[in-house]
Amino acid sequence: MPPSERLRDHVGQGATTVAAHRTRRRLRADRARQLADLLRRQLLTDAFPDGALPHEDALAAEYDATRNTVRQALDLLRAEGLVTRQPGVGTVLATRKYPHGLDRLMGLAETLHEHGRVTNEVRATVPVPAPAPVAERLRVPPGADVLYIERLRRLNGVPLSLDHTYLPLDTGTALLGADLENNDVFHLLESVTGTPLGHAEINLEAVSADAHSAAVLETPRGAAVLMLERLTHLADGRPVDLEFIRFRGDRIAMSGLLHRSA
Amino acid sequence: MPPSERLRDHVGQGATTVAAHRTRRRLRADRARQLADLLRRQLLTDAFPDGALPHEDALAAEYDATRNTVRQALDLLRAEGLVTRQPGVGTVLATRKYPHGLDRLMGLAETLHEHGRVTNEVRATVPVPAPAPVAERLRVPPGADVLYIERLRRLNGVPLSLDHTYLPLDTGTALLGADLENNDVFHLLESVTGTPLGHAEINLEAVSADAHSAAVLETPRGAAVLMLERLTHLADGRPVDLEFIRFRGDRIAMSGLLHRSA
């Protein structure tokens, strides 16, 4: 008996006809989501090296699922923008998702170096008076100028993230003449200060892309965005870099290792 | 000169009229997003303890922005479901966002204990034949039964996450009689095995809620979801718990500390 049937039996016992119908529909949706989650994982770990997923029948057999469930699961992945379905070809990878390390404080070019070349389109570099929450975190007087940098970051030409960066003016000014198009700010900060970075407080959220971010990132309006807020300190404790980074949800995943003991 | 003007001057120099117009529109959108990011941070850190944001004029003055920019920023936060705007009252917090620790391996009830009570609606507990990617990660023979658990998790009655969990049957069976409604699986696993958890491989992604997950989580279809895949091992190295967790993007943020040196 396939697991969908077993699950149905298990949950549906004693249910009325209408309730049983609802339960079946729910379980089909659950099964599709379960399968989509397993396939998402396979896609992320390059389990389909030529980018083509097995045929629906093969997936149905492998995952002990109905063809309907397989189709629903593939529809979910398509809605996420991960795969496209081509007539006569089948289901193929639409976009690769790259793993951004969560275990160590790293810049984008650094964490993705084995996947290709990161380039940055610098959309703005301009001193602005620090708004109170920026001033407080960068430990500068409120209203004092900080350097604001806005970059669209690409991997091998493909948009990955839109970054808003605030730097205190003392270190920031030294970055004005630097090659921001081809370097991580982390790398430049360590170069100009002669001090290694120490730690960063990070905050990760899932948000929907507003119309404007979506246009810049070349993704549909409302698409899921992985939003990283990060306050980075030099090894001597000085806060030097406050960033608000919008990663395209279909192109970046964060991966790391957590330990139980503190 | 307000920073929006300065930014405009900086970028707009030498632009044609049409290009200048486009640039101005772009910069207004950029400014709104910048402000929304700062306010999102304030919301997350409870900077408005009574849940009411300052009046638009006050925000405009504080952030040196136009009222138009303030309105656009508030619209972005409203689109995310973080605030609502009430006539005569102003902008108020719609939902609290809770920080889930990223520094230590913790269950939901554990990480949120100071914010209230986590309860779990157990939607399914059923043995299923392990699909290949599950079998491989849990180190059981492909097709061997594993325990599948599906839970809707709430904090103080409010839906936070939809969790799919796969457990090897040896430890899983011991959980069948346990109080899954009021306990983290982590806590139960440590109890029944008598072994502390060791580490977990995690993967974090932003995805859009499919229709069915959205309905279960009581959030709009397509809403941003923070998706956590987590394979947890006992301290002796045995993998014991593979989870696919969908957190509502408007209710959970992940926060932690990263270090530069490995």
Distant-in-sequence, close-in-space partners of A102: CB < 8 Å, separation ≥ 6: A254, A255, A256, B102, B202, B204, B256, B258
Distant-in-sequence, close-in-space partners of B22: CB < 8 Å, separation ≥ 6: none
Q: Based on the domain organization, do B9 and B118 belong to the same domain? A: no
| Number of structural domains found in chain B | 2
Q: Based on the domain organization, do B121 and B251 belong to the same domain? A: yes
What pTM was estimated for this model as a whole? 0.89
A165 part of a folded domain: yes
A260 part of a folded domain: no
Q: Based on the domain organization, do B57 and B157 belong to the same domain? A: no
Q: Based on the domain organization, do B122 and B247 belong to the same domain? A: yes
B138 part of a folded domain: yes
CB-CB: which of A76, A131, A196 is closest to B63?
A: A131
pLDDT exceeds 70 at position B15:
no
Query: Best residue in A207, A231, A243 to probe B by mutation, most B CBs within 10 Å?
Result: A207
CB-CB: which of B47, B133, B212 is closest to A42?
A: B133
B260–A199 CB contact, under 8 Å: yes
Per the document, the length of chain A is 262
Q: Based on the domain organization, do A193 and A219 belong to the same domain? A: yes
A177 part of a folded domain: yes
Q: Based on the domain organization, do A164 and A139 belong to the same domain? A: yes
Band of pLDDT at residue A22, cut at 50, 70 and 90: low
A204–B204 CB contact, under 8 Å: yes
Q: Based on the domain organization, do A124 and A164 belong to the same domain? A: yes
ipTM for the predicted complex comes to 0.89
A244–B37 CB contact, under 8 Å: yes
Band of pLDDT at residue B30, cut at 50, 70 and 90: confident
B102–A258 CB contact, under 8 Å: yes
pLDDT exceeds 50 at position B176:
yes
pLDDT exceeds 90 at position A172:
yes
The amino acid present at B199, given as its one-letter code, is: H
B261 part of a folded domain: no
Do the beta carbons of residue A243 and residue A165 sit within 8 Å?
Answer: yes
Query: Best residue in A189, A205, A228, A240 to probe B by mutation, most B CBs within 10 Å?
Result: A205
Q: What pLDDT, on the 0 to 100 scale, is given for residue B130?
A: 94
Q: What percent of chain A has pLDDT over 70?
A: 89
Q: What pLDDT, on the 0 to 100 scale, is given for residue A24?
A: 66
Q: How far is CA A138 from the centre of its chain?
A: 26
User: What residues of B are in contact with residue A34 (Cβ under 8 Å)?
Assistant: 148, 164, 244
A208–B80 CB contact, under 8 Å: yes
Specify the DSSP class assigned to residue B130. Answer: P
Specify the DSSP class assigned to residue B182. Answer: S
B34 part of a folded domain: yes
A262 part of a folded domain: no
CATH of the domain at B40: 1.10.10.10
Sheet holding A158-168, edge to edge: A118-129, A145-155, A158-168, A239-248, A224-234, A197-208, B252-259, B98-101
Q: What pLDDT, on the 0 to 100 scale, is given for residue A29?
A: 74
β pairing state of B158-168 and B83-86: unpaired
User: What residues of B are in contact with residue A104 (Cβ under 8 Å)?
Assistant: 258-262
pLDDT single digits (tens) B100-152? 999 999 999 999 999 999 999 999 999 999 999 999 999 999 889 999 999 99
pLDDT single digits (tens) A182-230? 999 999 999 999 999 999 999 999 999 999 999 999 999 999 999 999 9
The amino acid present at B205, given as its one-letter code, is: E
Nearest residue to A80 via CA among B224, B39, B95? B224
Domain-terminating residue out of A74, A93, A112:
A93
Nearest residue to B76 via CA among B136, B35, B21? B35
Q: Based on the domain organization, do B198 and B103 belong to the same domain? A: yes
Q: Based on the domain organization, do A46 and A145 belong to the same domain? A: no
Q: Based on the domain organization, do B89 and B104 belong to the same domain? A: no
Q: What pLDDT, on the 0 to 100 scale, is given for residue B23?
A: 67
pLDDT single digits (tens) A71-101? 999 999 998 889 998 888 889 998 889 999 9
Band of pLDDT at residue B164, cut at 50, 70 and 90: very high
CATH of the domain at B149: 3.40.1410.10
Q: Based on the domain organization, do A153 and A220 belong to the same domain? A: yes
Q: Based on the domain organization, do B89 and B167 belong to the same domain? A: no
Domain-terminating residue out of B77, B93, B109:
B93
Domain-terminating residue out of A26, A59, A93:
A93
B198 part of a folded domain: yes
Per the document, the length of chain B is 262
What domain range includes position A71?
3-93
Question: Rounded to whole angstroms, how far apart are CA atoms A112 and A242?
Answer: 21
Nearest residue to A10 via CA among B145, B203, B221, B28? B145
pLDDT exceeds 50 at position A4:
no
User: What residues of B are in contact with residue A199 (Cβ under 8 Å)?
Assistant: 257-260
